Structures are given as structure tokens and as C-alpha cells.
Amino acid sequence: MCAAPNGDVYVAREQGAFPGDIYKQSGGVGDFVALGQGNLRWYVMGAVPNGDIYAGVYSGGIYKQTGGVGNFSVLEVNRDWFGMTGDALGNVYACVNSGDIYIRTGGSGNFVALGQTHRTWRGMCASPKNGDIYCADYGGDIYVRFGGVGDFVSIGFPSMAIRDMAATMNGDIYAAGYGAATNIVIRTRGVGNFIPTGDPNRSYVGMAARAY
């Protein structure tokens, strides 16, 4: 899932028993409407402040919807994209399962590898408060690129099967666990430890918050 700056909400439907597509709720109101984007394994999504929407296909490419209008057009080569986020500078990050983390600087050009240790990367999010970029190692720690500069470093989070993350405009960071004994956890204003929110244990798969 992702939320656009204008309040539109997108959700990706993975291919499988049902046709894959991308759905949109205009202005955060009403039903989610299929956008007719083809029967692909849509897996991750991200939005940037100028309204561009990005979507990654599992074992496929990364696609972009310019300004939140029209069809999604392919940008990037096939990889196992498992997480994606956009920051306040318009940079787009995407992580690869058992691979690297990539950046499209300023929303232009190719996605370039950042040379991070290959881990089971999953969900990502970017804090609009301080520019920190988060990425979760599935079943392991949560890593942060402070201020969007340098390497991703461990914050010492207890192992949990994180599947997706989201950041809010006030800097709160959420992470959703996948599996029977998991929870949603929050790092308030991006400071301190992640604390369980007390929500029921479910297998959470996607998260979204309007961050810009």
C-alpha cells in the first residue's frame, strides 16, 4: 500500500488465484477501484511528494505512475523487489529480497545499489520529520539510514518477522509483523525503542500512512 500527498490511497494485489492489479481510493473516500494495470505480481508501492506513485513487481520491474495520473510505465529491471518508500527530497528507495537496497536519486535516472549487506529485506519507510530511512530484515533487526546519508545500521530491535513499515507526518514509525504471534509496533517520533501497540495478533502484510 501507499498514500499519495493528495490523499489518494493505493493498494497492490498480487497475482495468484486472482488477477493482479493496482487499486485506488480517490481522496481516501469510497471504494477502491481497479486501475487495469495488468495481471502482474504487484508487491510493493511508494509515493513521493510530487505525487509520483511507484510500484514494484515481485521478480519483475519497478513501474511509475507520473503525478498519480494514467498508467504505470516500467522503469527498472527485474529483481525480487520486496520493499519501497519515497522521502521528502523525492528520492525513491527499493530493497531486494536477499539482495541490496537501491535508490533513485531525486526521482530521476536508474535505481543504484547502495552496497548494503545482503539481508532478507522487507518493508521500508521514510520519516518526513528527519529524513531517516528505515528498512526491516525479515525475522531480524530494523535498520536505519540516518538522515538519508551513509549505511543502514542496526537499531537493536528484537527479532520479529516485519513485513511492512510506515511513517506519519509527525515522525511516528510503525512496523507490521507477519505471523500468528506478531503485532504492530511503534517508534514514537522516531525516538527510542519500538513498542507494541496492543493490536490483536494477525499476519499483517501491508501498511500505509500519508507522510507528505
Q: Give pTM, 2 decimals.
A: 0.92
CATH code linked to domain 2-196: 2.120.10.30
Phi–psi pair at 136, nearest 5 degrees: -100, 140
Say if residues 197 and 187 touch (Cβ distance below 8 Å).
no
- Residue-range domain boundaries for the chain: 2-196
Rounded to whole angstroms, the Cα distance separating 191 from 115 reads 26
The residues, any chain, with a CB within 8 Å of residue 87's CB and separated by 6 or more, are 48, 93, 126, 128, 131, 133, 148
157 C-beta neighbours (distance < 10 Å), count: 19
**Class of residue 15 by CB neighbours under 10 A (exposed 0-12, middle 13-18, buried 19+):** middle
Handedness of CA 10, 14, 15, 16 (dihedral sign): negative
pLDDT in tens, the chain (212 residues): 999 999 999 999 877 666 789 999 999 999 999 999 988 989 899 999 999 999 999 889 999 999 999 999 999 889 999 999 999 999 999 999 999 999 999 999 999 999 999 999 999 999 999 999 999 999 889 999 999 999 999 999 887 889 899 999 999 999 998 876 678 999 999 999 999 898 777 888 888 888 77
